Amino acid sequence: MTYQSGFVNIIGNPNVGKSTLMNELVGEKLSIITSKAQTTRHRILGIVNGENFQIVFSDTPGIVKPVYKLHDSMMRLVRTAFTDADIILYVTDVVETYDKNNHFLEKLKKSRVPVIVAINKTDLSTREALELRAAEWKTLVPKAATVAVSALYRQNLTLLFDLILEKLPEGPVYYPDDSLTDKPERFFVTEIVREKIFRNYRKEIPYSCEVVIDTFREAEDMIRINAIIYVIRESQKGILIGHQGEMLKKTGIQSRTDIEKFLGKKVYLGLQVKVATDWRNNEKLLKRFGY
Ligand code: GDP
Ligand code: MG
């Protein structure tokens, strides 16, 4: 019996639904999802193990023009994703026009590994518009297989999954066959808190925050976690905490609920806000934060 395995790297512009698609394909909420661009900052693996295959999905940050040093790190991840893939799953949606992808078309055309273009959010489109868009992509990247999906409504995901299996190379497993991801539990805890921050605060606040685990203690029936939210300046501290601590409390409760779901255990979550001046441009801090 042959065994298939490989990396399926998910690439595309911000907000097209890359993280949603990976979570749905993996069947687990690993990557955080918000309606804002540039939520995903790390490379997140989601592993699907089958009887005779292992698919390692890799979710990457959306493609952005670097403004901060943090973005340099994010774009490095995107470049790597183009080079170490066994299959490139390029995600676009029915809303964005193809000229938004100009930058990457050459790379997609020249790709030595199979490219699948997933046109996401079909639920927002009509059949006619979709056919036009699919034809457009066929002309742009003739070698690619094009599939229209709705990650949110799980439309055509089986079709996409089968297409991936069809193109997956033969090879041995990369990770133990019960792995779901490569990152430790505590990483996902910080990501869950970041997701709530993205949802609860406006403008530049979410982009200024980084979440770090201070302590993580597992007891018999409960996990006690203390996390620190770093902001870039003093004035943001008050905004995060909110009037009489209401905002931070809300963020904490929402986070804890999701962390309990993810870890399958009761959780105590303590949140503290601190200032790490301009951490997005500070090499040392970026390193410490895992970028
Ligand atoms: P990413 O930046 O590419 O990772 O995009 P996300 O997965 O974070 O999703 C961005 C936004 O698009 C979120 O508000 C999602 O709920 C939404 N979204 C994702 N997939 C679909 C879809 O199939 N249909 C619709 N209508 N919205 C979607
Ligand atoms: Mg994302």
- Report the CATH number of the 4-167 domain: 3.40.50.300
Query: How far away, in angstroms, is 49 Cα from ligand 2 center?
Result: 22
Report whether residue 14 contacts ligand 1, using a CB cutoff of 6 Å: yes
Query: How far away, in angstroms, is 165 Cα from ligand 2 center?
Result: 23
- Report the CATH number of the 185-288 domain: 3.30.300.20
**pLDDT digit string, tens, across residues 80-91:** 898 899 999 999
Q: How far apart are CA 169 and CA 254, in angstroms?
A: 41
* pLDDT of the residue at 4: 96
**pTM exceeding the 0.85 threshold for the entire prediction:** yes
Q: Where are the domains of the chain?
A: 4-167, 185-288
The per-residue DSSP string of 197-229 comes to HHHHS-TTHHHH-EEEEEEEEE-SSEEEEEEEE
Q: What is the mean pLDDT of the chain?
A: 93
Report whether residue 17 contacts ligand 1, using a CB cutoff of 6 Å: yes
Report whether residue 34 contacts ligand 1, using a CB cutoff of 6 Å: yes
Q: How far apart are CA 216 and CA 194, in angstroms?
A: 17
Report whether residue 121 contacts ligand 1, using a CB cutoff of 6 Å: yes
Report whether residue 42 contacts ligand 1, using a CB cutoff of 6 Å: no
Which ligand is nearest to the Cα of residue 20, counting in written order? 1
Interstrand relation of 210-218 and 222-231 (parallel, antiparallel or unpaired): antiparallel
Residue 168 has pLDDT above 90, yes or no: yes
